Amino acid sequence: MTFLLGVAIFVLALLISVMLHEAGHFLTAKRFGMKVTQFFVGFGQTLWSRVRGETEYGIKALPLGGFVKITGMTTLEEVDPADEPRSFRNQPGWQRIIVLAAGSFMHFALAFFLLIVLAAGLGLENDNSTAIGTVDSCVPASVTALNNQSCSGSRGTSPAQLAGLKPGDKIIAIGGTRVRNWTQLGAVIRAQPAGRATSVVVQRDGRQQTLSVTPVTVPGRRGSYLGIGNDTIFQRINPLRAVTYAGSAFGQVVTESVSGVSKLPAALPSLFAKDRAKTAAGQVGSVVGAGDTAGQVVAAKIGWQSKVAYILAIIISLNIFVGIFNLLPLLPMDGGHLAVIIYERCRAWLARLRGRPDPGLVDMRKLIPVSVGVFALLVGFSLLLIAADIINPVHLVQ
């Protein structure tokens, strides 16, 4: 049930993102006096709709996106002469550019807002702690069982539980090696000889205690295993610092998104590889993969703050990626239409320099083959990613 809750949360967040994207187009088009006849979430058969003023609002059967229909988007559309003055194609270039870019802007604005909420409301993770958050009950039978937090076919009780370690214990040292943060702790645990008892110094109720623990191995996993999870500490920062953090984190996600796009060709051969998670293909996925990750996060044995932080990170990354991808100069995406308008304005400027009349709008009929080709490529690539996420999903490493 918790897994399905995570998927439901992701789907809801995706639908809200779609609505905001279309709202960006809708509100700016309305602001400039363009005629907007439809505002729909989803595609396919209409489930519900209502007409208010000159616009029909509604929900369609397939929640795979959304659309806003603005009269006269291209030269291909037949428009009633009475509506032509309010058509999209009849407006100044700068207004059309704003309307087209408004969709991606809404994705960016939502991501920036959520980054501020994350920093000022929930808090940022502080890894300078060795406090135990969870103690596993068993030794997983494999890495897959470990990732899925399954005790099916387990190899016995976990070393941590056998040693008497408890949530809230702060580990001071293992095997005589002092540890100051969770990264050091993980490295020291993995380095301990499996099957040999070693000392663990913990702080419990204000006093130090020394326990004996015997690490084990999990088939397919490097290093020794104890069966503990960290108790992540979140620290809130003031709103001004939160804005600064949001700007920095936003730039980092943009860089990662651009890098992810550049890795797509190299990722294709490894989408169905057994070790996909360790290749470039482990860094790319579809909305199905993102939904699966959200489900894994909610089902994971971690604190609620960590779950919220992970879910927000998924939503933030998705919105920034979609915002950037949508601006690529490829028809039929908004970026392709932006490129056409910029080309029209440059052509008009050159014509003025030569003392010639404005050549007018681009004949979109000539671009139909390009638009259809790109659309088919995007659909095919999306289906390939979805198939990979269903057949060969990437699991979170616990």
Token digits for 235?
Answer: 């620290």
Distance CA 172, CA 182 (A): 11
Measured CA distances, 18 to 40, 175, 335 (Å): 10, 53, 17
Residue pair 129/230 in contact by the 8 Å Cβ criterion: yes
Q: Residue 150 — pLDDT band, cuts 50, 70, 90? A: confident
Instruction: Provide the pLDDT for residue 397.
Output: 44
Residue pair 384/271 in contact by the 8 Å Cβ criterion: yes
pTM for the model stands at: 0.78
Mean pLDDT of the chain: 89
Instruction: Provide the pLDDT for residue 332.
Output: 87
Token digits for 21?
Answer: 């994207």
Q: What is the pLDDT of residues 195-253, one digit of tens each?
A: 999 999 999 988 999 999 999 998 888 889 998 887 667 888 899 999 999 999 999 99
SS3 218: coil
Distance CA 149, CA 138 (A): 10
Instruction: Provide the pLDDT for residue 398.
Output: 41
Q: What is the pLDDT of residues 95-116, one digit of tens each?
A: 999 999 999 999 999 999 999 9
Distance CA 25, CA 38 (A): 11
Mean pLDDT of 365-376: 89
Distance CA 126, CA 305 (A): 12
Distance CA 227, CA 135 (A): 6
What percent of the chain stands above pLDDT 70? 98
CATH number for the region 132-231 comes to 2.30.42.10
* Residue of higher predicted confidence among 108 and 124: 108
Mean pLDDT of 323-344: 93
Please provide residue 260's backbone torsions phi and psi, each rounded to the nearest 5 degrees.
-65, -40
Q: What is the DSSP letter of 148?
A: T
Determine whether 22 is an active site residue: yes
Token digits for 169?
Answer: 């214990």
What are the boundaries of each domain within the chain?
A: 91-127+234-398, 132-231
Instruction: Provide the pLDDT for residue 201.
Output: 94
